[in-house]
Chain A
Amino acid sequence: MKSVCIVDAHVVTAYGGGLDPLWDGLVSGRSAIAPVTRFRVDGYNPKIAACVDLAPAPPGESLLPQLLERLLSGLGPVPPDSRLLTATTKAGIDLIEGERRGLPADLGAILPDQLLAWVRGRYGLRDGGYNVNAACASSTLALARGASLIASGAADAVLVCSLDLVSEFVFSGFAALQALSSEPSRPFDRRRNGLSLGEGGAALLLMSEERARRDGRQSLATLLGWGVANDANHVTAPARDGCGLIQAVRQALGRAAVPPAAVVGISAHGTGTVYNDLMELTAFAAVFGERKLPLHSVKGAIGHTLGAAGGIEAALVTRMLAQGVMPPTVGCDEPEAGADGQVSATVTSLPGGLLLSTNSGFGGINAALVLGKGER
């Protein structure tokens, strides 16, 4: 099996474009979750989310191309022979909001193949590519597929682009599900009461070690293991025993051929809902036992970016590995009983070793990645 390197990673979040603003925002402890001004929220409660500073879309157009442009403008060169995977849950769903209110709009642009065409066109990629939709685990699963393509020798460069918008469509749905937090979300905190939506994207370029060396690309991190599993339990709620996440993490460790002891920290899904966070603590305890591993969630800072979450978090993990520290979990002041000593409101030193990154989503899906430090 070939080694899989992450040779480029760029993100766009409500903090701005790039890993630097994200890292600085997290270290500052300031949440980017703020009142929504993009669409009318008087019918909804709460009224907050973490939106990227985008200009209003022209009538009949989506904000997605603008978000994509922000994302790709920060990415380095992409070889035209790269395979392409995108990950979005609702792509340009904001188009539907005007169209159903009688405004002209081309609903065809909602479909993921439009997103694929934009990315292909920008880099002249020969691969047709495909979009992965596995709810909030979409980009983690896309990274896993991309890694398998490289590990198996089927490809030696894969671009994984993930993004999702904050739209009235999605905001109204999570409000109807009563899943939104009344204040910026508090992952793993005793007082957490729901999630905050976020918007953003991540673009990661994966290469085989040989290709990275040949192209003179620096490895930011190595993707050593990955796993995906379904709870087969409930469509919108996590399995309380964490069965699917446990299976996904064990697969990822198995593929990396490392014991649980090799993992020194976890970038968790950490949505801030009561049941998700408890499920994750249960699963991590089942895999790692009594070890109190440093645990992080980014979602109190930039909200839950849905299909983009795993991509943004994997990019952030590359920075954690490089810096040897884990940034604060913004919003967590009083950790949940099972997270005592694991989730911190301050920067935490990480000993040398591997990091685990996990995501879970509607439909009962769970995905896990094991990442190691790159060569600098």
Chain B
Amino acid sequence: MDWTLHPLGDQAVLIEFGNEISEEINHTVQTAASSLDDWQPEWMVEYIPAFTTVTLFYDPLYIANHKTSQNQLPYDWVHQQVSEFLSTLTIKETGPARTVEIPVCYGGDLGPDLSYVAEKNGLTEEEVIERHMNGNYLVYMIGFAPGFPYIGGMDPAIAAPRRKDPRLKIPAGTVGIAGAQTGVYPLETPGGWQLIGRTPSKMFDPSNEEAPTLLQAGDRIQFRRITEEEYENLKEGGA
């Protein structure tokens, strides 16, 4: 396992495990993140995992008051601590990842760009849905918005460019395609994605402090097709 450390300003250090999107590197990122959960040093404020990096935010004042002598700067001390932590980190073979099922009502009013995606790729709408449901999806990271997953593994045959004129309002739960990526909008936001459907599942629930987001980095996703009626029922049921 290779890693390098880089400062992000005067209160954070970025750990880089590689510079390309790969399941292996991302698995290392997840391992480091869960080890940080176990470690939880008192000088750590929080951490943000991404595709190939974990960024650790620290409290320089706490470190200066409790950990270092007069001449040592907080970053140098953190560099030492994190290096030691990483040198003892072992990548374990983990069991199969959690698979989260996301019900989606494809097309129609809930997925107004489905026909465009089909036309663009010379497929029927049914074929786009079929291929979207059969992707081998991995959540690489959560970012951009609460619970917004960066998902890899979509069939490139259904890729579609972003819209030239982004929509001002995309409803929460919308499933979209941008380039070779697919994603689900957890909140109403503006955006340029091609919208192919919508899920009634709540992607972000702030009242659940332990797990406020439906998806976590490292999850596998299975999209399941539902009818408009099922969508309405699940939505009302607060799914």
Do A and B share a complex? no
